[in-house]
Each structure stands twice: as C-alpha cells, then as structure tokens.
C-alpha cells in the first residue's frame, strides 16, 4: 500500500500550522522576558508533542498498512497499560492480564492485518468477554471479582477493540477508492483531533457556560458548539480525502466529533472517579496515551461502521 498523493498536501498543511504555532509560542516566550509562564510553557509543550505525533503518523503512512497497524497496536498496548494502572487488580488477575496484553492485542491486530472482518469484529466483545473471567475465576480469588473483571473487560474493549477500528479502515473495499484507504485514517484523526483543539480554542476565547462542571470544568457550551461546527466545516473541506461528497463528509465529521466529545466526557468521569488529572505522563504537555486517544476511541467505531454500511457493497 503506497502513500496516496492526496496525503501530501494534508501533511504540508499540518506542517504549516505547526510551524506557525511554534513561531507564536517562541514569540510569546520571548515577550515573557524570561519570566515563567505556565500558559506559554504548556502551549510550547503541546506544540512539540504535536510535532512528534504528526511525525510518527507520517512515518507510519510511509511504511503503509503494516506501519499503521503497528502504530495503533503500540497505542493500544500503552493505553491498556495506563488504564489497568489506575484500576484495582489482585494477584489472581495476573493470568487474565497476561492474556489481554500478550494474546488479546496481537491477535486482534493480526486479524485486522489479514482483513478477517467476521472475526476481528467479534473476537474481543465475544471471545475476550467470555474467556477473561474464566481465566480469572480459576485462580479462586473472589474479592471484588465483579469490579476487577469488569474493569479488565472494559479496558480491553476501549483500548484495543475500539482503537483497532482505526487501522481496520484499511480493510474496507470501497469501489473507486482502491489504493487510497490510508486517507480515511487521515480524515478521521485530523477531524477528531482538530475538533479537540478547536473546542479548546473556542472555550478559552468565548467559554462562559460549563457543559459538565463536575466532570470537566474546562468544557463549555461555547467551546463545544464552536469546535464541533468548525471541525464539521473542516471535514466538509477535506471531502477530497474520502469517497464522500462535501455534504456527506461534513455529516460524517459531525457524527464523529460529537462521539469524540462524549468520549472525552466519559474518560473525564473515569479520571475523576480515580482521583487523577491525567492518565499518565507519556506525552509531554498532553498527559498519557489515553488523554490523546479518548475522543478517537469513541469516534473510530462509529466512523468505521457508518463508512462500511454506506460505502461498502
């Protein structure tokens, strides 16, 4: 699978935005006159992290299908590790945990690699759901068994099953779109992550009314409406990356951005429940892997199945 020509202007555009953001960050840093500014430092950390993330995605695209699958398999491993770290486990869970990490993740992504939709679409929600509690229960430890196994099952679902729907876009056989399926991944990630950034910007500029102050005090209705509307327009403008018309691309962007927003709220609720601000410190300025993937996790399966339902014969 070669790199589609349409991805070149997309990466050039992202590079131009990052260059501009880098320049703005450095100008603000100089204007601070050496005085520490948490806001400016956070901005520069975030811009640097975006340079790294865009570079990694770019390298994965150059490698092709194998690169994209390996990238998101690693993301699933890191995300599941962060999730399990914040949940309650006991010695009796060790076999089930090993099964999830060293069988569940490789098998799920191998099934995506060989494009076996009939199995990768049910492997975790059916077989993983049934086998994990069996493996755990034979250890004989019933202390908080329900909450322990439910946490592991849900972690596997969101960190592996949902994330695997991103490279699974490469398995869709869309007439007239052969050799360009990497662009679906680019469209999904750009629109959903763009929505996150735009919600943050609109929230900082115009935010007054909180959406869910108990869950995420930084999320406002002004940020939500402005960010999602802008990302929907962005999706419509990127229709040329997809098999969709401009109106269809906008509708797909709207659906995925809304799911991404609610995904962010769900993950915020989990962090509040666990008493932490971030999932980890893997990405400087962005927290952990799950702090970057929370929106995409909820958006990816919806985008995949809408695309498969409407565009695959």
pLDDT digits (tens, 9 = 90+) for 2-60: 678 878 888 888 888 888 888 877 787 777 666 666 767 766 777 777 788 888 899 99
pTM of this structure: 0.92
Which phi and psi (to 5°) does residue 287 adopt? 85, -135
What are the tens digits of pLDDT across the range 159-168? 999 999 999 9
Rounded CA separation 28/38 (Å) = 12
Classify residue 209 as exposed, middle or buried by CB count within 10 Å of its CB (0-12, 13-18, 19+): exposed
Q: Supply φ then ψ for residue 210, to 5 degrees.
A: -75, 140
Cα distance between residue 284 and residue 267, in whole Å? 19
Residue 35's pLDDT is 66
Q: How do the domains of the chain map onto residue ranges?
A: 1-63, 67-171, 175-313
Degrees to nearest 5, angle at CA 106 with 100 and 110: 140
How do the pLDDT tens digits run along the chain, 313 residues long?
Answer: 667 887 888 888 888 888 888 887 778 777 766 666 676 776 677 777 778 888 889 999 999 999 999 999 999 999 999 999 999 999 989 999 999 999 999 999 999 999 999 999 999 999 999 999 999 999 999 999 999 999 999 999 999 999 999 999 999 999 999 889 999 999 999 999 889 888 888 887 888 889 888 878 878 899 899 999 999 999 999 999 999 999 999 999 999 999 999 999 999 899 888 888 878 777 665 678 888 888 999 999 999 999 999 999 8
Tokens in use for 268? 């915020």
Predicted confidence at residue 97, as pLDDT, reads: 96
Residues forming a β-bridge with 283: 287
In terms of residues, how long is the chain?
313
Distances in whole angstroms, Cα of residue 68 to Cα of each of 3, 74, 267, 296: 12, 10, 24, 15
């Amino acid at each position: 699978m070669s790199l589609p020509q349409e991805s070149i202007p997309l990466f050039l555009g992202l590079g131009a935005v990052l260059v501009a953001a880098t320049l703005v960050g450095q100008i603000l840093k100089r204007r601070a006159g050496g005085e520490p500014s948490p806001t400016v430092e956070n901005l520069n950390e975030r811009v640097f992290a975006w340079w790294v993330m865009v570079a990694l995605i770019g390298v994965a695209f150059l490698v092709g299908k194998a690169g994209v699958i390996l990238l998101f398999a690693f993301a699933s491993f890191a995300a599941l590790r962060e999730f399990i770290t914040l949940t309650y486990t006991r010695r009796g869970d060790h076999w089930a945990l090993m099964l999830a990490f060293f069988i569940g993740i490789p098998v799920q992504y191998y099934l995506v690699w060989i494009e076996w939709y009939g199995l990768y679409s049910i492997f975790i929600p059916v077989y993983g759901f049934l086998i994990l509690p069996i493996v755990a229960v034979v250890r004989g430890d019933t202390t908080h068994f329900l909450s322990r196994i439910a946490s592991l099952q849900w972690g596997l679902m969101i960190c592996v099953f949902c994330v695997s729907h991103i490279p699974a876009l490469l398995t869709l056989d869309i007439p007239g779109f052969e050799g360009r399926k990497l662009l679906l991944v680019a469209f999904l990630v750009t629109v959903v992550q763009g929505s996150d950034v735009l919600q943050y910007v609109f929230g900082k500029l115009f935010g007054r009314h909180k959406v869910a102050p108990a869950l995420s005090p930084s999320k406002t209705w002004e940020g939500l409406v402005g960010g999602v509307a802008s990302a929907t327009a962005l999706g419509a403008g990127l229709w040329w990356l997809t098999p969709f018309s401009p109106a269809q691309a906008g509708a797909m962007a709207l659906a995925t951005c809304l799911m991404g927003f609610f995904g962010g709220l769900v993950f915020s609720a989990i962090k509040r429940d666990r008493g932490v601000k971030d999932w980890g410190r893997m990405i400087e300025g962005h927290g952990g892997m799950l702090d970057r993937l929370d929106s995409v996790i909820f958006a990816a399966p919806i985008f995949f199945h809408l695309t498969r339902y409407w565009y695959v014969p």
